[in-house]
């Protein structure tokens, strides 16, 4: 699927990762082969976050296999390496970025969705460092291929390149209170980086819209990675999704001025996997979004 230049109001609800032993026999049917779990999950959801890329560079064969196991209109979000965000802390990362983009994710082709960059809790707002990092980020496949050509020996295979004219979206997840700064929101909008709407009990939950898409991660509102979302919470998130896709904003904590009204695509992933809530919460949200709005309700403005 090729994304248009502006958001089109499309919604993809999914899960963060798919290979969890505790899901077997609960979400995954008894007897389902482990190698078939991605195919099964991709029949339920339109998108999944790839988490393995956060921990280490993946092999091209893995990306190619994931493409074959998923439907034609499926999209993966790809989590950027912790080596860049947590170890290098975004400094001197041109070569690590080249290794990442050359590692095989371009083999996802039209199934390559947003790239997620998650900062550590100890990372405070640093305008210059973020500005420099955002400037380095490849915004389309051609730029990513050109950058990948500068990889080093940490890439154990030939860089996977592509010349397809397809753009790349980026989203940033923050975990420090210092980001409650209008200058941060302005910086994201300048670079067209989406601020991740991250629901947790520990870190800021900011609702500012900063790009032509919205990226949501639901980690558990009561207990990190473990608590489930009840009926009222899922209804609230469904209202927020409708507001974003119709051109409005969601109610909540905003740091910067209102965004210009425009329909936006929404990617929303459940990461409360510890108690096997994630897949069932995601299915429940999908059901809510498929229902027509009740008479008299509106999905414009801040919902």
Q: Which one has a higher pLDDT value, 172 or 220? A: 172
Mean pLDDT of 18-33: 96
For 89, the token pair is: 């802390």
Q: Cα separation of 129 and 15, whole Å?
A: 30
Tell me the pLDDT tens digit for each residue of 132-150: 999 999 999 999 999 988 8
Listed in sequence order, the residues at least 6 apart from 300 whose beta carbon sits closer than 8 Å to its beta carbon are 243, 246, 247, 248
**pLDDT for the residue 81:** 98
Mean pLDDT of 238-262: 95
Q: 3-state SS string over 22-49?
A: HHECCCECCCCCHHHHHHHHHHHCCEEE
Mean pLDDT of 169-183: 98
Local confidence band at 259 (pLDDT 50, 70, 90 cut-offs): very high
**Mean per-residue pLDDT of the chain:** 91
Tell me the pLDDT tens digit for each residue of 40-75: 999 999 999 999 999 999 999 999 999 999 999 999
Residue with tokens 């291929």: 145
- Among the residue ranges 103-107, 169-173, 292-296, the one predicted with the least confidence is 292-296
**pLDDT for the residue 295:** 45
Listed in sequence order, the residues at least 6 apart from 21 whose beta carbon sits closer than 8 Å to its beta carbon are none
**pLDDT for the residue 291:** 83
Q: Cα separation of 66 and 78, whole Å?
A: 12
Angle at 119 between CA 114 and CA 125, to 5 degrees: 115
**pLDDT for the residue 213:** 97
- Letter string b/e over residues 192-204, b meaning 16 or more CB atoms within 10 A of that residue's CB: ebbbbbbbbeebb
**pLDDT for the residue 163:** 65
Q: Give the domain ranges of the chain.
A: 11-290
Local confidence band at 227 (pLDDT 50, 70, 90 cut-offs): confident
For 185, the token pair is: 């929101």
**pLDDT for the residue 6:** 53
SS3 assignment, position 53: helix
Q: Which one has a higher pLDDT value, 300 or 101? A: 101
**pLDDT for the residue 175:** 95
For 248, the token pair is: 């409005």
Angle at 242 between CA 286 and CA 251, to 5 degrees: 120
SS3 assignment, position 249: strand
Mean pLDDT of 159-179: 90
CATH superfamily of 11-290: Protein of unknown function UPF0759 (3.20.20.410)
Asked if the model's pLDDT at residue 230 lies above 50, the reply is: yes
């Amino acid at each position: 699927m090729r994304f248009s230049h502006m958001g089109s109001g499309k919604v993809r609800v999914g899960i963060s990762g798919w290979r969890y032993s505790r899901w077997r026999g609960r979400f995954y049917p008894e007897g389902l082969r482990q190698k078939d779990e991605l195919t099964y999950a991709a029949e339920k959801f339109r998108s999944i976050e790839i988490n393995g890329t956060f921990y280490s560079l993946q092999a091209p064969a893995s990306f190619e296999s994931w493409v074959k196991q998923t439907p034609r209109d499926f999209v993966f979000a790809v989590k950027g390496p912790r080596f860049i965000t947590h170890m290098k802390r975004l400094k001197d990362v041109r070569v690590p970025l080249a290794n990442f983009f050359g590692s095989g994710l371009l083999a996802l082709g039209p199934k390559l969705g947003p790239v997620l960059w998650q900062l550590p809790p100890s990372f405070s707002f640093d305008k210059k460092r973020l500005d420099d990092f955002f400037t380095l980020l490849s915004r389309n496949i051609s730029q990513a291929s050109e950058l990948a050509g500068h990889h080093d020996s940490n890439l154990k295979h030939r860089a996977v390149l592509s010349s397809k004219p397809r753009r790349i979206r980026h989203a940033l997840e923050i975990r420090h209170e210092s980001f409650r700064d209008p200058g941060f929101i302005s910086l994201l909008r300048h670079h067209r980086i989406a601020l991740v709407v991250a629901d947790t009990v520990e870190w800021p939950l900011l609702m500012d819209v900063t790009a032509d898409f919205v990226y949501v991660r639901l980690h558990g509102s009561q207990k990190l990675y473990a608590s489930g979302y009840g009926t009222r919470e899922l209804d609230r998130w469904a209202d927020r999704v409708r507001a974003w896709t119709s051109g409005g904003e969601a109610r909540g904590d905003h740091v910067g001025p209102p965004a210009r009204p425009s329909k936006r695509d929404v990617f929303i992933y459940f990461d409360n996997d510890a108690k096997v809530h994630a897949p069932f919460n995601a299915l429940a949200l999908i059901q809510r979004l498929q229902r027509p709005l009740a008479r008299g309700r509106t999905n414009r403005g801040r919902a």
